[in-house]
């Protein structure tokens, strides 16, 4: 994953969707039409990605 100063460089990616920043303890939603494949979801609040706030998503 391309990074810039410890955060994901979103300009270097094909971003498919985004959830606005949510307060701690709350959640957000996004609905996407994705083709089959493997995707990565991540938090780009400063410091969150580098602390492991990301995951993989496989669409079959």
Q: What is the pTM of this model?
A: 0.72
- In this structure, the dihedral spanned by the alpha carbons of residues 2, 5, 8 and 9, taken in order and rounded to 10 degrees, is -70
- pLDDT (0 to 100) of residue 16: 85
Termini Cα distance of the chain: 22
| pLDDT tens digit sequence for 36-53 | 999 999 988 888 888 999
Q: How far is residue 59's CA from residue 48's CA, in Å, rounded to a whole number?
A: 25
């Amino acid at each position: 994953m391309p990074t810039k100063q410890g955060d994901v460089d979103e300009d270097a990616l094909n971003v498919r969707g985004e959830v606005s920043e949510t307060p701690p303890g709350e959640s957000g939603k996004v609905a996407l039409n994705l083709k089959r494949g493997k995707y990565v979801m991540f938090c780009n609040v400063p410091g969150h990605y580098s602390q492991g706030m990301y995951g993989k998503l496989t669409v079959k």
